[in-house]
Chain A
Amino acid sequence: MAYALQQLINGISLGMIYGLIAVGYTMVYGIIGMINFAHGDIFMVGAFVALIAIVMIVSGGLMEGPGALVLVLAIAMAFTSLYGWTVERVAYRPLRGSFRLAPLISAIGMSIVLQNFVQVSQGARVKPLEPQVTGGFEIMRDGDFAVQLSNMQILIVCTTLFVLAVFTWLVTRTSLGRAMRACEQDRRMAGLLGIDTDRTISLTFVIGGSLAAVAGTLYLLRYGVIDFYIGFLAGVKAFTAAVLGGIGSLPGAVLGGLLIGLIETFWSAYFSVQYKDVAAFSILALVLILMPTGLLGRQEVEKV
């Protein structure tokens, strides 16, 4: 029981990170209907920018404590969202209106570019970072087994909930969010009604990039080891989460992320660690085969 509770805590904190990345996928898919394959690598860039910022600010002794972490997060969000914007501007915008596979290939190319750019510029070796957030609580004890809730996990959950709350406000209450939802429903009509669709799409990538940066920073702080390749698997799992929740649905992405995190954690804890990716992918295949629109997705009506 205590063991399961511990896994639940671990699973939720992992799932929150997946959820943050998944929102970026689902948003882009909703608005321009393409798999932004480079999004996982944007997450990786976010983790690297955060690493550089931490080494500069904390290890360099400029600042300490929670203030420094907020600053690191802000820096990571600013630079990473610029990467998101650039990727859209360079690789996707020229292909708008082209046939559907073109942006997908371009996105795969961009993903290769980002990975190898970071490999060349930052080196192929893994970067270990000493823990920045330590300590925690013991919330339950069952015999020898103590259920730990670390400060890091609290930080992950609180940050994610805060960021998602801001994001939800942005999408549901602001004129930008209204424009985004309009573009999602019918881009051409939204354009005719005076919405700058190019700008809206760019801003979508900026928001997606900054959410990925939050995820990257939290991932770095939680696991302490990153390399240029972390984006691929995290990206695929987050996309899985987005599809699981019903692609295009924002609450669905977070729900899917949580589910993938929980499935992966429980599978590793009770069955085998090696096959944890197989578990996540099998669940994806099963869900799609049984309900092809995902958990919270809209049923698509096909017009002939």
Chain B
Amino acid sequence: MSGDVAAFAMAQRPRLAAAALKDAGITALVALALFAPLVGLRTDVAPNGALFLRPRWAEVAILVLLAFALRLGLVYWQAMRGPPRLPSAARAAVAARAGRLFAPVLLGLAVLLPFIPGTGRYELDLGILVLTYVMLGWGLNIVVGLAGLLDLGYVAFYAVGAYSYALLAQHFGFSFWVCLPLAGIMAAFWGVLLGFPVLRLRGDYLAIVTLAFGEIIRVVLLNWVSLTGGPNGMTGIPRPSFFGLPFSMSGGEGTFAGFFGIEPDPIHRVVFLYYLILILALLTNWVTVRIRRQPLGRAWEAMREDEIACRALGINIVATKLTAFALGAMFGGFAGAFFATRQGFISPESFTFIESAIILAIVVLGGLGSQIGVAVAAIVMIGGFELFRDLEEWRMLVFGAAMVVIMVLRPRGLVGSRTPTVALGQRRVIAAEHVAEGRG
């Protein structure tokens, strides 16, 4: 079959070449018009404060040639690729078989990471960062992936958790282990509080109101200087202790190193933080997986598919929505408390809309509702983001472009299939195309 396609493509080659050249030429023209003003003429501020233009035509020429080459390559690739491969349900079954092996391997790797030779401080810090996003992704997955409520202000609960921990620890001297549940409860409380007014809203309206709530919380944190320190943030947040044993370099009697009789090493705290976030993330996953099998979880998924049918069948929509908001927010709060204790410093800078967007992107890119997909997406997006560290300001550009490209190539996310949570008789894989989107 592929031979036929190749032969057909051969016969079509001259016509294809002409069409591709024309197509690429048009693309190059568009690229020229796009890049000529913004790249070709850079505005700079002269010493006297006036603006002047610095021409950079060489860069424009490179970009235009690049656009031409890329488009030409794309047209040829599309022509040679032939018809689409296996239907997605069959492909999904293959992926599911691989996925059954994949998840335990990934988990094992995560557990063993601190002991793998060559893992230093940098790798552990990156692991902590990725796991934080995995946890946030799983938390948001409850709201967006399971309950189908599009939340663009999730970072607000992350902020509530972080500030709850910082304030409780500083004003009352509570330890991390007391503050962690309190931060979760505070965030869940805010989840319900912000969930109440939006019960009637759906879809994009819900998205924009949650975005507004997220921004309101950030602006309040920024301006309530007497409580939160405003833009300067809060410093000196207590670091976590190992169940009461502080990580100290002195190695004395009451410290972690002293208690276990080992050499004090700053890596101990990092390893501890790594396992802490790993356990928190796994807790999120465990709770989600368990709840999905219960009436509440099934009500969430039913509500995502069809809210009206749910009402007709007597499901309490108010309770269903609020529990989703509360639980999602609670895990966001846990992650926030962890973030605060890990950084030792928080400021509203860390809780901007872009964070919400990144978390939502992880959930959607992972394939809505798929736990393993969220983990993979977090590793790809956040780990990939780290790979481009040397590119500095280009890094966000690459990040945004990656979001667009992944979405265009795989609109259903990286793991676009799932097994039903509850099944009658044989379990079959459902292709993501058959799962309705979160309609809010």
Q: List 10 A-B contacts (CB under 8 A).
A: A52-B41, A55-B43, A82-B34, A101-B437, A117-B397, A122-B43, A127-B45, A129-B51, A243-B208, A302-B308
Whether B365 is near chain A, meaning CB under 8 Å from some CB there, is: yes
Identify B411's interface contact among A29, A98, A121, A240, CB under 8 A: A98
Best-buried of A90, A106, A123, A129 by chain B (most CB within 10 Å): A106
Q: How far is the CB of B185 from chain A (nearest CB, A)?
A: 24
The answer on a CB contact under 8 Å between B407 and A102 is: yes
Whether A284 is near chain B, meaning CB under 8 Å from some CB there, is: yes
Interface residues of B in 184-208 (CB under 8 A from A): 197-198, 200-201, 203-205, 207-208
Identify A55's interface contact among B52, B216, B309, B354, CB under 8 A: B52
- In the assembled complex, the Cα of A99 lies from the Cα of B411 at a distance in Å of 8
Q: How far is the CB of B73 from chain A (nearest CB, A)?
A: 15
Taking CB atoms, residues of chain B closer than 8 Å to A121 are 38-39, 42
Taking CB atoms, residues of chain A closer than 8 Å to B53 are 52, 55-56, 60
Whether A59 is near chain B, meaning CB under 8 Å from some CB there, is: yes
Q: How far is the CB of B156 from chain A (nearest CB, A)?
A: 12
| Closest A residue, CB atoms, query B44 | A123
| Closest B residue, CB atoms, query A34 | B204
Interface residues of B in 375-410 (CB under 8 A from A): 393-394, 396-397, 399-404, 407-408
Taking CB atoms, residues of chain A closer than 8 Å to B37 are 48-49, 52-53, 79
- In the assembled complex, the Cα of A49 lies from the Cα of B53 at a distance in Å of 12
If A56-B41, A108-B361 touch, whether A292 touches B201 (CB-CB below 8 Å) is yes
The B interface, classified by DSSP as helix, strand, loop or mixed, is: helix
The answer on a CB contact under 8 Å between A236 and B211 is: yes
Taking CB atoms, residues of chain B closer than 8 Å to A119 are 393, 396
Taking CB atoms, residues of chain A closer than 8 Å to B412 are 98-99, 102
User: B interface vs A, CB < 8 Å?
Assistant: 30, 33-34, 37-39, 41-45, 49-53, 144, 150, 197-198, 200-201, 203-205, 207-209, 211-213, 215-216, 219-220, 222-223, 308-309, 353-354, 357, 360-361, 364-365, 368, 393-394, 396-397, 399-404, 407-408, 411-412, 436-439
Whether A105 is near chain B, meaning CB under 8 Å from some CB there, is: yes
Q: How far is the CB of A225 from chain B (nearest CB, A)?
A: 11
Interface residues of A in 243-279 (CB under 8 A from B): 243, 247, 274-275, 277-278
The answer on a CB contact under 8 Å between B407 and A105 is: yes
Identify A102's interface contact among B52, B211, B216, B364, CB under 8 A: B364
Taking CB atoms, residues of chain B closer than 8 Å to A112 are 354, 357, 396-397, 399-400, 403
User: A interface vs B, CB < 8 Å?
Assistant: 29, 34-35, 45, 48-49, 51-53, 55-56, 59-60, 79, 82-83, 86, 90-91, 94-95, 98-106, 108-113, 115-125, 127-130, 232, 236, 239-240, 243, 247, 274-275, 277-278, 281-282, 284-285, 288-289, 292, 302, 304
The answer on a CB contact under 8 Å between A113 and B400 is: yes
| Closest A residue, CB atoms, query B42 | A122
Taking CB atoms, residues of chain B closer than 8 Å to A304 are 308-309
| Closest B residue, CB atoms, query A37 | B357
Identify B209's interface contact among A100, A102, A123, A285, CB under 8 A: A285
If A86-B30, A121-B42, A239-B208 touch, whether A100 touches B403 (CB-CB below 8 Å) is no
The answer on a CB contact under 8 Å between A35 and B207 is: yes
Taking CB atoms, residues of chain A closer than 8 Å to B197 are 285, 289
If A106-B403, A116-B397 touch, whether A123 touches B411 (CB-CB below 8 Å) is no
Best-buried of A53, A109, A123 by chain B (most CB within 10 Å): A109
If A59-B51, A130-B50, A281-B212 touch, whether A109 touches B43 (CB-CB below 8 Å) is no
- In the assembled complex, the Cα of A304 lies from the Cα of B34 at a distance in Å of 45
Identify A113's interface contact among B204, B309, B365, B401, CB under 8 A: B401
Taking CB atoms, residues of chain B closer than 8 Å to A285 are 197-198, 209, 212-213
Q: How far is the CB of B244 from chain A (nearest CB, A)?
A: 41
| Closest A residue, CB atoms, query B206 | A288
- In the assembled complex, the Cα of A142 lies from the Cα of B144 at a distance in Å of 55
Identify A277's interface contact among B30, B215, B397, CB under 8 A: B215
Taking CB atoms, residues of chain B closer than 8 Å to A127 are 43, 45, 51
Identify A288's interface contact among B201, B215, B402, B407, CB under 8 A: B201
- 10 extra interface residue pairs, beta carbon distance < 8 Å, beyond A48-B43, A91-B404, A116-B396: A49-B37, A108-B403, A112-B354, A119-B396, A122-B43, A247-B204, A275-B223, A278-B219, A282-B216, A292-B201
The answer on a CB contact under 8 Å between B208 and A120 is: no
- In the assembled complex, the Cα of A236 lies from the Cα of B408 at a distance in Å of 24
- In the assembled complex, the Cα of A106 lies from the Cα of B396 at a distance in Å of 14
Q: How far is the CB of B149 from chain A (nearest CB, A)?
A: 12
- In the assembled complex, the Cα of A123 lies from the Cα of B393 at a distance in Å of 10
The answer on a CB contact under 8 Å between B400 and A116 is: yes
The answer on a CB contact under 8 Å between A99 and B437 is: yes
Taking CB atoms, residues of chain A closer than 8 Å to B353 are 232, 236
Identify A109's interface contact among B50, B215, B219, B407, CB under 8 A: B407
The answer on a CB contact under 8 Å between B360 and A105 is: yes
| Closest A residue, CB atoms, query B404 | A109
The answer on a CB contact under 8 Å between B150 and A90 is: no
- In the assembled complex, the Cα of A130 lies from the Cα of B33 at a distance in Å of 27
Taking CB atoms, residues of chain A closer than 8 Å to B393 are 116, 119-120, 124
Taking CB atoms, residues of chain A closer than 8 Å to B400 are 109-113, 115-116
Q: How far is the CB of A173 from chain B (nearest CB, A)?
A: 29
Which 8 pairs, one residue from A and one from B, show the smallest C-beta to C-beta distance? A109-B403, A112-B400, A281-B212, A113-B400, A99-B437, A116-B397, A98-B411, A102-B411
